[in-house]
Structure formats: structure tokens, C-alpha cells
Amino acid sequence: MSSETIRSSGGLLLSLREDNNKRINAMVGVVAVIVLIILALTVPNFFRMQNIVNVLESVSSVGFYSLGLTIVLVSGGIDLSVPGVIMAAACLGGSYMVHGGNWFVAFLMMLGLGILFGLINGLAVAKGKMIPFIVTLSTLVLSRGIAEYLSAAQTIYGLPDEFLALDTKIGIVPIGVIVFIAVAILLMVLLTRTRLGRTFFLVGENIETARVSGIKTDMVLFLSYLISGFLAGIGAVFLTARLGSATATMVGDTVTNNTIASCIIGGASLRGGQGNIVGSVLGLIFITIVDNCFNLLGIGYYVGMVFKGLIVALVIYIDVLRSKG
Amino acid sequence: MSNITKEFPGVKALDNVCLYAEEGRVLGLIGINGAGKSTLMNVLGGVYKPDGGTIELDGKEMIFHSPSDAYNAGIAFIHQEPQYFLSLTVAENIFISDLYMKNKVFTDKKKMMEEAEKYLSIIASNIRPDQLLENVAIGQRQVIEIVRALTAGANVIIFDEPTSSLGRQEKENLFKTINKLKAEGKIIIYISHYLDEIMEICDDYIVLRDGKLVNQGLISETDKSGLSNMIIGQKLEHLKKKSIDTRDRETVLTVEDIHYGNLLHGVGFELKKGEVLGIWGLMGSGRTEMIRAMLGLDRVPGGKAYINENGNKLPIKKNELLRKVGYITEGRHFDGLFLSKPVWKNVTSANLDAYTSKIFHMLNIKKEYEDTKKYIDLLQIKVPNAGVKMATLSGGNQQKAVFAKWICKGADIFILDEPTRGVDVGAKLGIHKIIRELASQGKSVILITSEADEMVDLADRVLILRGGKIISEQTGADINQKNLMMIALQGVSAS
């Protein structure tokens, strides 16, 4: 009798705690929707088709970063290097094509450089036991240096038509968006349905338990960075095709912040073990729309940066609230 | 200290304990694991507030609200494994909480060196204050903490198992230091399991058992066996259940030559099929470390392991061994479970291969869920369903879930380190039943526990660790509380 009472009261307490997390997530969703409605009502041109396409395109071109980052966050790490890797890959492929190189070889080179950086990050974190934040910050600087060097700090343009054809639209939807959706679905299945996906979550939540459970934790960590690097390569291809050029500044400074924020809004945690692809994509759409509205409202770039900085701080606080629950 | 009483939910940890210590004498505080020594010292050190009783120091009644109150009153703890700043000098380490300042910004290095030198010369003249701590031998670092206590004006110095990580020479140095402190007129309280040490260094003793003071007196009027009789007391022996002799059975695992710093000097054993092999020893005897070294979980050389396959003794790498065994510790939250994941994801986490398809490596989530339900019924884990978060389960049910994880994996060897610590009585009995079931199904179990009755109830064979070696093997009716404690304390059996 008494143990029954204890159990049920304990259960109640804990279910309240679980409710708390759900409540925070629901709150995030509700606030996001309210913000969007306000923006839709107050911002001129919000519903113009061109604007919506703009949003979708910018989501997809840097969106590969948020897909990769979701995997890395789930497995308990972070990858700051992606913007640099995208630019290095773009400048590598771009300068190769401008000097008469074949577009398909350039395409493969871009993917290859992404994979190479994923490999470096992965080895440093998994085998070298180095701190992910510092490792990927270093490779960010390194890859940006490569991009500057390859482009000689100039814009690389005049890319072959075959390559630029990667930006053609099927109906009104660009190929880049279609590939983005396809990759997102694939990763969603990977995370939720496959063995590898499960181990990302387990390693990210408690690496010691995972190790004792016989999971090859080094391999799992390594693969998360490899996937992130590969997706950086894909991102480089479609961003370059869309812009029609490559520079060492083509990915803006605020992209890293925006992407981390979008993953956390979508349910990922900086502490690892949490996250999902759908959430990250919705988070990214939200952040991009807010970004877009800053432009439509004529808020200057620098003022916009201040606001976005604040939003990210707020989002990370949400992460703290969740983990308390 | 008079009439100290402290209750924790469900246990009376201290019951009217009085402790009287004199200046210039060393008081030995002894008792088995869980007798109340640490609780008593935590009351004195301001960590716990007593439910009753008073503390008097130099005739003045003291009330400590926090450890810093006790520290300011001159009561210092020398910990088993103190923390230091390796890249700072000895002097800076000594004055770390109260650096000498020239002005508001800069420290007065010269003054600090002089002060440190003054105190160091009393007890350890071979350490220079300007040495970096990383250049001080590990066994000597304890001296730094003692000096730290002296500079803070401590009059009562408590040593809690200070020799557990020390070699022989270092131990002698420590005893010299303690004798010097004694000569300085300090009050010294010395806690140890090792009766040799108590006999050597202490002047007086008090013995705690089950939270009560059972004996006190002068060391000169007693001897080792007298002390161990007081520690153990006249407990009623309940009869050992029918015991099985497992010594002639097939060996499934052989471990040889495990070393672990100062703790273990070449231990090895054989594990038989279908037995519960107990590893017994006092706290700090290296029980847990032996297992961790065997599984390659710590960066120590470790030793060799062999596994029996079809009658052949084959060497096995440590990480492969880790993958073969079920390892269950008291640290469920640290290395046993994924707390924010549902029960079913925990149960299958060590056996994901069995649920993975050949193509695309897809998981059969439905089967994972169904199998988990089976284990929940089998082990009587109390949960509303297999999908609730692990964090919502009680400690005992969480521990059962760890068992479910390893049973699901089909492990043949289970290694249990304090498997019932912190779980309620009902769950404990449930876990005991599971352990017996496992052995009767031909699984082999290595059991480490600090509770003598648990060992007596479960083990078919017990190995006793003392002084870094396995000194004894007990079987059958010799596995009784008195015998186990006697050997662990003194190195000889009761009979």
C-alpha cells in the first residue's frame, strides 16, 4: 500500500518534470508562430511569391550546415568549421573551373574537400581527444585561409554553364531545394531508424555508458564530423551555383550563430543526445524569415546583427531551461 | 563531542556517540564500512548538522553551520585524495585560499615563501617552498595539505585513511609528520581500516559499530585481535545457504598479473562457470580498480586476460572483454544508463546488432520494444510502460534495467560492483534473486560488495584482497561474516 503511494507520487512528480520539457518545447513553437504572424501582418511584401522563394533558397544553400550540425550536436559535439569549409571548397572548385577545369571534376573536388575537413575534425576529436569547439574553430580559420589564398581575395566568376545549370528550377523549385529536402529526409531516417543514428544519440547523451555498452564511440564521433564535412561540400556546390561565383566571404559571419540557434530552437541541445532534423529545418526557416524581415523592414545590417545576437543568447537560455526540466 | 546523534531517512547513522580527544595525543577512530566514522567526522567538520548533542572545543561550545565554520575554528581535514594546482609553487598551494598580498593587486611572494618555509621546516624540511608542485613526489603532496592546515591555525587535524595511496616509505614519512604534530600539541584524529597503523601511531582508540560507540581505551592496553573483536562484535551468524563447490568447474575467464599503482601488486584469479565469485576487501583495497584494470577502463597496464572457448584458453584484448561482459556498477548514472532516453532504448543499447537489418542497418524498433516488455516482466521492473524515460524510474528499478540491458545482450559473464547500493530493500531482494537466477543458468558472476551479509548470501567462493594481493580464498561455510571481516582486517582467518 505505502510503496504504491510512494510510487504514484514519485511518478506524478516525474511526469510533471517531463511535462515541463514538453511545455517549454510547446512554448517555443507557440512563440515562433506568434512572431511569424506579427511579421506577416506588419511587414510589407511578406507574402510575395518572390520573397517566399528567396527564403527557401537561402534556407537550402546554408541549410546543409544545419543538417550536419544537427548530427554533430546529437552526438555531443559542435562543428564551427563549416562556413570556412564551404568557402574553401567553393573557391577550390571555382578557380579550377575558371582555369578550364571540367565542371564535374570540380564538383567532385568540392565534395572531396568537404570530406577531407570532416576527416580532420573527426580524427582530432575522436582519436586525438581534442575539444570539438577548439578543433573546429581552428579548421574554420584554416579553411578560410585556404579560400582567401585560392581566390586571391577576389571574386571568382565566369563559371561554366554546365555547372551553373545546377541552379535551374524545376517548376518554381530550384534543384538545390529539392536536393536539400531529399538529404533532409535521408538524414531523418538515418537518425531515427538506423543503428548509426541511435548510436549518435547514445554517445551524445552519455559517452561513458555508451563505451561500457560496447558501442565504438570513437567511430561514432568520427562519422558525425565526416557527415558534417560531406554536407559542407554539397552546400558549397549549390551555393556556388546559385550565386554564380565564389569568394572567400560568400558565407556571412552570422551564419554560424543562426545555424546553431535554429538547431536549438528545433530541439537539439548543446549538451548532446537531443535533436531532430525536422525541428532543425523548421528552426532554420523561422530564423531565416526573421532575418528576411529585417531586410524588408529596412533595418540596417549592423543593427540586425545586434538583434540576432540577442536572439541566439535567448535561444541558448531556452536550452538551459530544458536541461533543468 | 557529546551525545552526537544523526539520522538519515531510514537509518540512525549515529546514536549518542561521545568522543573525547586530548592535545598532544593521537586518537584512532575505527569501525567497519558504514559504522558511522565518516558521518561522525562530517559532523565535526561542519558538513552535517547533528540532530542532537554538542561539540566543545577548549571548553567552549561550538555550533558549525558550514565546513568553513569548522575550518575557522581550527578543525582541518586531511583528505584521501586532495586536489592541488600542479603548475603553482608549493608556497602558493599552501596559501591558495589566503594569498599574502602586497597591495590589492599583487601578491607578496617573498613573504609567502618565508612563511611557507617556516612551517615546512617543522614537518618536511626537504620540500622547498618555491618548488613547483608537479616536481613534488606524489606521496609527499599530502604534506602540503597538512602545512595548509597548520598555517590556518588548525588545532584539530583529522586524517581520513591517509595511507591508502601511499607506499611504505611515504607512510613512514607521514607517521614522522604525525609525531611532530603531536609534539606540537595538536589534537589528532586518525581514521583507518589498517589495525597495524592504528597500533603504531595512535595513543587512544574508539570503536564505532552500527552508529554506536562500543569501546574506547588506551592502545597500550589492547592488541590487534582485541581491536578486531571489538569492531566485529558478537553478531549472530545466520546459517550459510546450501553452498555449492564450484572450484572444479570449467574455467570461463582467467585473469593474471594485474597491477594498479600502489594499490594492486599482481593479482589474478579464475572465474568458473555458473558461480558467483565474491571479491571482498576493505574500502580502498583496490576491488573496483582490479575490475577496471581488467576491462581496460583506466589507463593502467593492467595484466592479461584469457577466455575459454570450446576448451581452449585464448588471450583476449581488454576492449573485447569489455564487449563480452555485463558490467554493472553503483554508478548507474555515470556509466550504466541513458537517463533521458526511454527504457526500451536503454535495454537494447548494448545489443543493437541483434536488432539491425543486414541492408541499410535499419533498426527493428517494434521488436526492441516488444523484447523490452519481456525483460520488464522477467525482472519485475516497475514501470507504466517501456516507453517512459529512464530518469522517472526509482533507483532499484533503474538498476534492474541495467541488468535487463546485459541479459538482453546475452552476456555470459556479469561483473557487479556494489549492485544494490542506494536501492530500497524490496528492490535489493529482487536483485539478489536475479543474481542467483543468472548463476543457476550457467552464467558467471563476479560480485563486489561492501555488505558482508550480501556476500554471505550470494557468493559461492570469495577472494579476499588485502595489501594489494589476494591473500585468501574462502568457500562453503567459511564464507561467514566473522571470517570475512577477520581476514580483511588482520590477514588471518577466525578459526
One-letter amino acid at A249 equals T
Interface residues of A toward B, Cβ cutoff 8 Å, are 3, 7, 10-11, 14-15, 17-18, 193-196, 198-199, 201-202, 205-206, 208-215, 273-274
**CA–centroid distance for A128 within its chain:** 24
- Asked if residue B235 has pLDDT above 70, the reply is no
Grid cell, residue A169, equals: 528550377
Residue of B nearest to A3 (CA): B426
- Cα(B172)–Cα(A174) distance, integer angstroms: 79
One-letter amino acid at B266 equals G
Q: Do A213 and B334 touch (CB under 8 A)?
A: no
Q: Do A206 and B327 touch (CB under 8 A)?
A: no
Q: Do B356 and A195 touch (CB under 8 A)?
A: yes
Between A3, A194, A205, which is nearest B361 by CB? A194
Q: Do A193 and B365 touch (CB under 8 A)?
A: yes
Three-class DSSP labels, chain A:
CHHHHHHHHHHHHHHHHHHHHHHHHHHHHHHHHHHHHHHHHHCCCCCCHHHHHHHHHHHHHHHHHHHHHHHHHHCCCCCCCHHHHHHHHHHHHHHHHHCCCCHHHHHHHHHHHHHHHHHHHHHHHHHCCCCHHHHHHHHHHHHHHHHHHHHCCCCEECCCHHHHHHHCEECCEEHHHHHHHHHHHHHHHHHHHEHHHHHHHHHHHCHHHHHHCCCCHHHHHHHHHHHHHHHHHHHHHHHHHHHCEECCCCCCCCHHHHHHHHHHHCCCCCCCCCCCHHHHHHHHHHHHHHHHHHHHCCCCHHHHHHHHHHHHHHHHHHHHHHHHC
- Whole-number pLDDT of residue B416: 93
A202: closest CA of chain B, how far (Å): 7
- Asked if residue B277 has pLDDT above 90, the reply is yes
> Per DSSP, which regions of B126-273 are E strands?
156-160, 187-191, 204-209, 212-218, 251-260, 264-272
- Whole-number pLDDT of residue B288: 86
The band of A13, judged by pLDDT with boundaries at 50, 70 and 90, is very low
- Whole-number pLDDT of residue B10: 56
- Asked if residue A194 has pLDDT above 80, the reply is yes
Residue of A213, A216, A218, A223 best to disrupt the B interface, most CBs of B under 10 A? A213
CA dist A45 to A36, A174, A282, A293, A295, Å?
A: 14, 21, 21, 9, 11
B311: closest CA of chain A, how far (Å): 25
- Cα(B56)–Cα(B66) distance, integer angstroms: 16
- Whole-number pLDDT of residue A324: 61
**Cα torsion through A9, A10, A11, A14, rounded to 10:** 120
- Whole-number pLDDT of residue B9: 57
- Whole-number pLDDT of residue A5: 36
- CATH numeric code, A28-324: 1.10.3470
The band of B125, judged by pLDDT with boundaries at 50, 70 and 90, is low
Task: Return the H-helix or E-strand segment holding B369.
Answer: helix B365-378
- Whole-number pLDDT of residue B126: 75
Q: Of A77, A40, A75, A34, give the one whose Cα is nearest residue A55.
A: A40
Q: Do A205 and B352 touch (CB under 8 A)?
A: no
Chain A contact set for B337 (CB, 8 A): 206, 209
- Asked if residue B11 has pLDDT above 80, the reply is no
- Percent of the residues in chain B that have a pLDDT greater than 70, as a whole number: 92
Q: Of A120, A140, A130, give the one whose Cα is nearest residue A65.
A: A140
Between B335, B352, B353, which is nearest A208 by CB? B335
Q: Classify B74 as helix, strand or coil.
A: coil
Residue-wise pLDDT for A37-56, tens only, equals 888 888 777 777 777 777 77
Between B322, B360, B392, which is nearest A14 by CB? B392
- Cα(A128)–Cα(A218) distance, integer angstroms: 10
- Cα(A161)–Cα(A153) distance, integer angstroms: 23
B335: closest CA of chain A, how far (Å): 4
B86-112: average pLDDT: 79
- Whole-number pLDDT of residue B153: 81
Grid cell, residue B237, equals: 551468524
Q: Of A299, A269, A253, give the one whose Cα is nearest residue A140.
A: A253
B448-459: average pLDDT: 86
- Asked if residue A304 has pLDDT above 90, the reply is no
Residue of A nearest to B320 (CA): A214
Residue-wise pLDDT for A63-92, tens only, equals 999 999 999 999 999 999 999 999 999 999
A75: closest CA of chain B, how far (Å): 13
One-letter amino acid at A244 equals G
- Cα(A166)–Cα(A106) distance, integer angstroms: 13
- Whole-number pLDDT of residue A133: 96
- Percent of the residues in chain B that have a pLDDT greater than 90, as a whole number: 21
Q: Do A209 and B353 touch (CB under 8 A)?
A: no
Residue of B292, B335, B399, B417 best to disrupt the A interface, most CBs of A under 10 A? B335
Residue of A nearest to B353 (CA): A195
- Give the contacts of B299 (CB within 8 A, at least 6 positions apart): none
- Whole-number pLDDT of residue B124: 67
Residue-wise pLDDT for B316-335, tens only, equals 888 888 888 899 887 777 78
The band of B165, judged by pLDDT with boundaries at 50, 70 and 90, is low
CA angle centred on B355, ends B349 and B356, rounded to 5°:
105
Higher-pLDDT residue of A223 and B300 is A223
Provide the mean pLDDT of chain B: 84
- Percent of the residues in chain A that have a pLDDT greater than 70, as a whole number: 93
Q: Is A310 exposed, middle or buried (0-12, 13-18, 19+ CB in 10 A)?
A: exposed
- Whole-number pLDDT of residue B34: 67
B386: closest CA of chain A, how far (Å): 14
Of A152-166, B40-54, B137-151, the least confident: B137-151
Residue-wise pLDDT for A102-114, tens only, equals 999 999 999 999 9
Q: Of B331, B255, B332, give the one whose Cα is nearest residue B296.
A: B255
B276: closest CA of chain A, how far (Å): 21
B356: closest CA of chain A, how far (Å): 6
Q: Do B363 and A195 touch (CB under 8 A)?
A: yes
Q: Do B336 and A210 touch (CB under 8 A)?
A: no
The band of A15, judged by pLDDT with boundaries at 50, 70 and 90, is very low
Q: Do A273 and B327 touch (CB under 8 A)?
A: no
The band of B81, judged by pLDDT with boundaries at 50, 70 and 90, is low
Between B349, B363, B382, which is nearest A213 by CB? B349
Interface residues of B toward A, Cβ cutoff 8 Å, are 297, 322-323, 327, 334-341, 345, 349-350, 352-353, 355-356, 360-363, 365, 382, 384, 389, 391-392, 394, 405, 409, 426
B393-412: average pLDDT: 90
Residue of B nearest to A202 (CA): B338
CB pairs under 8 A between A and B: 80
- Whole-number pLDDT of residue B337: 93
In this structure, the strands spanning A169-170 and A245-246 are unpaired
A187-216: average pLDDT: 94
The band of B415, judged by pLDDT with boundaries at 50, 70 and 90, is very high
Grid cell, residue A7, equals: 510510487
The band of A35, judged by pLDDT with boundaries at 50, 70 and 90, is confident
Contact B314, B324 (CB under 8 A): no
- Whole-number pLDDT of residue A96: 96
Between B327, B356, B360, which is nearest A212 by CB? B327
Grid cell, residue B310, equals: 570450446
A200: closest CA of chain B, how far (Å): 12
- Whole-number pLDDT of residue B239: 47
**CA–centroid distance for B18 within its chain:** 26
B131-145: average pLDDT: 79
Residue-wise pLDDT for B71-80, tens only, equals 888 888 887 6
- Cα(B280)–Cα(B451) distance, integer angstroms: 9
- Give the contacts of A251 (CB within 8 A, at least 6 positions apart): A62, A83, A84, A86, A87, A239
Residue of B nearest to A323 (CA): B340
Higher-pLDDT residue of A58 and B350 is B350
- Asked if residue A252 has pLDDT above 90, the reply is no
Residue-wise pLDDT for A206-234, tens only, equals 998 998 888 999 999 999 999 999 999 99
- Whole-number pLDDT of residue B247: 79
- Whole-number pLDDT of residue B313: 85
- Cα(A209)–Cα(A207) distance, integer angstroms: 6
- Cα(B353)–Cα(B488) distance, integer angstroms: 43
- Cα(B170)–Cα(A51) distance, integer angstroms: 76
Between B323, B341, B356, which is nearest A214 by CB? B323
Chain B contact set for A194 (CB, 8 A): 356, 360-363
Q: Residue written as cell 551555383?
A: A241
Chain B contact set for A17 (CB, 8 A): 391-392
- Cα(B438)–Cα(B447) distance, integer angstroms: 12
How many Å from the N-terminal Cα to the C-terminal Cα in chain A? Answer: 29
Residue of A5, A198, A208, A322 best to disrupt the B interface, most CBs of B under 10 A? A198
- Cα(B246)–Cα(B209) distance, integer angstroms: 34
- Cα(B45)–Cα(B58) distance, integer angstroms: 16
Q: Is A282 exposed, middle or buried (0-12, 13-18, 19+ CB in 10 A)?
A: middle
- Asked if residue A120 has pLDDT above 50, the reply is yes
- Asked if residue B103 has pLDDT above 80, the reply is no
- Whole-number pLDDT of residue A20: 66
B179: closest CA of chain A, how far (Å): 44
A129: closest CA of chain B, how far (Å): 14
Grid cell, residue B347, equals: 535495454
Domains, chain B, in order of start with CATH, read 2-232 (3.40.50.300), 251-490 (3.40.50.300)
Highest averaged pLDDT of the listed ranges A122-136, B10-24, B279-293, B467-481: A122-136
Q: What are the residues facing B258 on neighbouring strands?
A: B267
Q: Residue written as cell 577477520?
A: B486
Residue-wise pLDDT for A123-151, tens only, equals 999 999 999 999 999 999 999 999 999 99
Chain A contact set for B389 (CB, 8 A): 14, 18
- Give the contacts of B476 (CB within 8 A, at least 6 positions apart): B240, B243, B245
Contact A235, A86 (CB under 8 A): yes
- Whole-number pLDDT of residue A18: 53
- Cα(B449)–Cα(B458) distance, integer angstroms: 10
A3: closest CA of chain B, how far (Å): 10
Q: Is B128 exposed, middle or buried (0-12, 13-18, 19+ CB in 10 A)?
A: middle
- Whole-number pLDDT of residue A6: 37
Chain B contact set for A214 (CB, 8 A): 322-323, 350, 409
Q: What are the residues facing A148 on neighbouring strands?
A: none
Residue of B nearest to A15 (CA): B392
In this structure, the strands spanning B312-315 and B304-309 are antiparallel
The band of A24, judged by pLDDT with boundaries at 50, 70 and 90, is confident
Contact B127, B120 (CB under 8 A): yes
Grid cell, residue B433, equals: 534473486
Q: Do B361 and A198 touch (CB under 8 A)?
A: no
Higher-pLDDT residue of A154 and B260 is A154
